[in-house]
Homo-oligomer: A and B are copies of this chain.
Amino acid sequence: MPRQRITREIILDVAFKLARGGGSEQVVVKNVADEIGCSVQPVYSYFANMEALKEAVLGEAMKFYNEFIYSRVEKESLLESMARANVAFAKYETNIFKLLFLQKLNGLNSFNDIYEWMGDKQATAQLAGKLSLSEEKVKEVYIMLIIFTHGVATMIATGGANISDGESAAVLEKAYRAFIKAQE
């Protein structure tokens, strides 16, 4: 058989880059094949169908998101930097943001679930000490800030992304302080 030029990884990589650069609707078999410079066959030999490939792209997107956020979180300002990172993600990685947060259903049933899903438990404990608040109260601040941040992020991702980083940082800071003050 001819030397294997194309791997599952190459296909997934190209598909993810298409989604990142042009939105998830760019992930169509012809685009993937053209980008690699091959026919459509290799795509179907590594993925059962396009749906499977898109599922895999979603997994890559999640990894990418986690790395993006993780690389920007600062220990000294956990919640605030995490909020800013999420907004930056919405602004600079709009296509992946939309893929992860505006299209996919993740079946959350309560805001507690959202905390379980998004929240960082370690951060909660650490913050409780720093702010001299109960963990319960920090958790509430956390949830409120996640919601607020999601509001900012969504507006930026869907609104054309022309709100400056400074302006969004200011509004996040304001919300953070308000939520903490409300717990005191």
> What 3 A-B pairs are tightest by C-beta distance, nearest first?
A151-B151, A178-B182, A150-B151
Q: Could you give 25 example pairs across A and B, Cβ below 8 Å? A: A101-B158, A102-B158, A104-B158, A105-B159, A106-B160, A107-B159, A107-B162, A108-B155, A109-B162, A110-B164, A111-B171, A114-B155, A114-B159, A140-B174, A144-B148, A146-B151, A147-B152, A147-B155, A147-B175, A148-B151, A151-B152, A154-B154, A177-B182, A178-B182, A182-B182
Max chain B Cβ within 10 angstroms of own Cβ: one of A110, A143, A144, A158? A158
Known: A105-B159, A108-B162. A144 touches B181 (CB 8 A): no
Closest to A175 in B: B144
Question: What is the CB-to-nearest-CB distance from A62 to chain B, in angstroms, rounded to a whole number?
Answer: 15
Query: In the bound complex, how far is the Cα of B116 from the Cα of A159, in angstroms?
Result: 14
Query: In the bound complex, how far is the Cα of B138 from the Cα of A163, in angstroms?
Result: 21
Q: Is the interface of A mostly helix, strand, loop or mixed?
A: helix
Q: How many residues of A contact B (CB 8 A)?
A: 39
Q: From residue 90 to 115 of chain A, which have CB atoms closer than 8 A to chain B?
A: 101-111, 114
Give A125-142 as 1s and 0s: 1 = Cβ < 8 Å from B's Cβ atoms.
Answer: 000000000000000100
Copy tally for this chain in the complex stands at 2
Chain B residues whose CB sits within 8 angstroms of the CB of A103 once the complex forms: 158
Find out whether the CB atom of A106 lies under 8 angstroms from the CB atom of B159.
yes
Query: In the bound complex, how far is the Cα of B178 from the Cα of A181, in angstroms?
Result: 7
- Given pairs A102-B158, A108-B159, A144-B178, 7 additional interface contacts (CB within 8 A): A105-B158, A108-B163, A109-B160, A140-B174, A144-B175, A150-B154, A182-B182
Question: What is the CB-to-nearest-CB distance from A174 to chain B, in angstroms, rounded to a whole number?
Answer: 7
